Structure 1
Amino acid sequence: MDIKITLGSNINQKNNIDVARRMLTEIFPDIRFSESVWTEAVGIESDRFLNCIAVFDSNFSESELIARFKAIEHELDDSHENHSLGTVIIDIDLISMGNRQIRQIIWE
């Protein structure tokens, strides 16, 4: 099934996006990433975000995918506490699975 995700970071942005990309590539070897783009923060006061979109094929369930994304976020020391303070080390969001839209990309 075709999967679309987004990655975002607002602190040490380039490094955090690069590390997350490498970790995702280890799990999903066919993953393809868009160019990263700088965007203004939406809904929080913070430094600019570096964002990208990725697409890949996977037979994992939605809950399995989210668990893998959360594991990467955790490994990079991100947390809901950080987010509540306006610091996003890395955020990986599931956007769509096949034709099913799960969430909108707020920075496009």
Structure 2
Amino acid sequence: MTRVYFLLGGNIGNREELLAEAIRKMTNHVGKFIKASSLYETEPWGFSHEQNFLNQVVVFDSEFSALDILDKTQAIEKELGRVRKKTQYCERTIDIDILFFGNEQIENERLSIPHPKIQERSFALHPLAELIPNFKHPVLKTSIQMLKDECPDKLKVIKFS
């Protein structure tokens, strides 16, 4: 069993329902749901759009490999209406990113774990710090709380009620 941390996000459609549905589908296909952060509303990162994102970190224990999990989460994204575009940063119904896969470091043509831009993204660090502030990033050897405190990204991240 490996503890896996995911970042969920989306800014199209019923954002709350899509995040909840992603968690239900992940529970059926990825592993055992452990916990979730609060929801956070954030401005789009890397592009502009009239609708903000809702983001949430969710934690699962899984027996699957990281690549198997990637295949499963990409299938869930597609089921929930995600359309992959040529541009990396754009609006979407749902995005499921693997942030951490235990303490493993994985680098291949399909997957980089830990997620290579965690330290640049407040929208990932706020919910992560809520759940695991003292977790040390396996590559940077710095706590999530410290990464959040030192993050250069100044886009607003607000707890969603």
8 Å CA contact 2:3, 2:101 repeated in 1 = yes
Aligned residues: 108
With the length of structure 2 as denominator, give the TM-score of the two structures. 0.61
Letter matched to residue 44 of structure 1: F
Question: Which of 64, 68, 75 matches 1:71?
Answer: 75
- Structure with max Cα Rg: 2
Aligned equivalents of 2:87 and 2:9: distance in 1?
A: 12
Question: Which protein, 1 or 2, shows the higher relative CO under an 8 Å CA cutoff with sep ≥ 6?
Answer: 1
Alignment check: 8 A CA contact 2:46 2:89 kept: no
How many Å separate the matches in 2 of 1:77 and 1:19?
12
Moved over 6 A (4+): none
**Cα-to-partner distance string for 1:1-37 (whole Å, 9 max, x where unaligned):** 1111110001121121121121112232333211111
Write out per-residue CA displacement over residues 17-68 of structure 1, whole angstroms, 9 at most, x where no aligned residue: 1211211122323332111110111101122100000111112111100001
Letter in 2 for 1:34: S
Cross-structure match for 1:59: 63
Unpaired segments ≥5 residues, structure 2: 105-112, 126-161
1:21-100 alignment, distance < 5 Å: 21-27=23-29, 28-46=31-49, 47-81=51-85, 86-100=90-104
Q: In 2 relative to 1, CA 85–95 (structure 1 residues): closer, same or farther, beyond 3 Å?
A: closer
Using the size of structure 1 for normalisation, the TM-score is 0.87
Q: Secondary structure at the match of 1:44?
A: coil
* Mapped partners of 1:82, 1:34: distance in 2: 30
Letter in 2 for 1:10: N
Give me the identity figure in percent. 31
